[in-house]
Amino acid sequence: MNPSVNEKAFEIVKEMLDKKDELNCAVTEQGNGATLIDAGIDVPGGIEAGRLVGEVCLGGLGAVRVTQMHIGDMTLPAVVVSTDHPKIATLGSQYAGWVVDVKSDEGKYFAMGSGPARALAGVEKKLYKELDYKDKAKMSVIVLETRTPPPEFVTEFIAEKCGVSTSDLYCLLTPTASIAGSVQISARVVEVGVHKLHELKFDPGKIRTGHGVAPIGPVAKNDNKAMGVTNDCILYGGRTFYFIRPDEDDDLAALTEKAPSSASSQYGQPFFKLFKSVEFDFYKVDPHLFSPAEITINDIVNGKTYKAGALNPDVLKQSFGM
């Protein structure tokens, strides 16, 4: 039986509510009963808040821990991420696949939605059909990467899509240019790799365990710059390791070679610089660029291990402004 990512994530949300002052977060209950947890808009937030947001994004099916990494001559704070349920925790929950774009007489609102609420809303019908997963929880938890708290007409829209009451909706808010934002984005390192393997037409159900580490990016001066820095932490500083049970006809050696970010023709410069060069048009960015810098795959059937890619301290330094 598949676990409920919303129910498991809600246990972490309750911890955040209890420790809101310690976490430098703020909690607001809207008139319609929806709960907003601010982890960096009008409050400082912090590393621990970002770590917990990362675990919420994984639907409570993974662990995020804080450590440090040595990359070149840099020693950087980092996150270690692991999950024994990579298909559901990453693609079924953490992946930022819900474009929350609401237009009404009361106004307009846009944010990228990630986390367990996606498994209730089922907006990404094709993906969830492939994953063969649908949550049935009575409460919903969504993470919005935004600097603007959602108005009530937006939380009503999200709750309706999820099939829950607004009083059972919990929205975690993390701006990209914030400490918690930097942490929770780096905590996507395993998910980014699983997504890349999925893009390469590999069945994510064959991935038994995912493990990864990525540096926590310094907070940039604005959200656009931060988008570049946080992406680079994974593209040029992320390491992942996957335990995979392949079928006989799977070529894991060839898959591994295609998997890291360096397999893309657009690899080799800070993401913000690349994005600016294509006039900030995501459709002009090679989707295969989005992958960890280094990927290792262990074939647990035949006992073979394959590795491709490498960390790139030079590009990271450019991205960090060092």
Report pLDDT digits (tens) over 51-110: 999 999 999 999 999 999 999 999 999 999 999 999 999 999 999 999 999 998 889 999
Question: What tokens appear for 308 in the block?
Answer: 């491709």
- CA–CA separation, 146 and 113 (whole Å): 9
pLDDT score for 1: 58
Pairing of the two strands 207-215 and 74-83: antiparallel
Q: With respect to CATH, is domain 179-320 assigned 3.30.1030.10? A: yes
Helices 47-57, 179-186: axis angle to 10 degrees equals 40
CATH number of 5-62+88-173, picked from 3.40.50.300, 3.10.340.11, 3.40.50.970, 3.40.50.1860: 3.10.340.11
The owner of tokens 């990467």 is 145
Give the domain ranges of the chain: 5-62+88-173, 179-320
pLDDT score for 280: 80
- CA–CA separation, 3 and 154 (whole Å): 27
pLDDT score for 283: 77
Label each residue of the chain as H, E or C: CCCCHHHHHHHHHHHHHHCCCCCCCEEEECCCCCEEEECCCCCCCCHHHHHHHHHHHCCCCEEEEEEEEEECCEEEEEEEEEECCHHHHHHHHHCCCEEEEEEECCEEEEEEEECCHHHHHCCCHHHHHHHCCCCCCCCEEEEEECCCCCCHHHHHHHHHHHCCCHHHEEEEECCCCCHHHHHHHHCCHHHHHHHHHHHCCCCHHHEEEEEEEEECCCCCCCHHHHHHHHHHHHHCCCEEEEEECCCCCCCHHHHHHHCCHHHCCCCCCCHHHHHHHCCCCHHHCCHHHCCCCEEEEEECCCCEEEEEECCCHHHHHHHHCC
Over residues 160-185, mean pLDDT = 97
pLDDT score for 147: 95
Confidence (pTM): 0.96
| pLDDT tens readout for residues 275-294 | 889 888 877 889 999 999 99
Task: Identify the weakest region by mean pLDDT among 30-34, 41-45, 252-256, 281-285.
Answer: 281-285
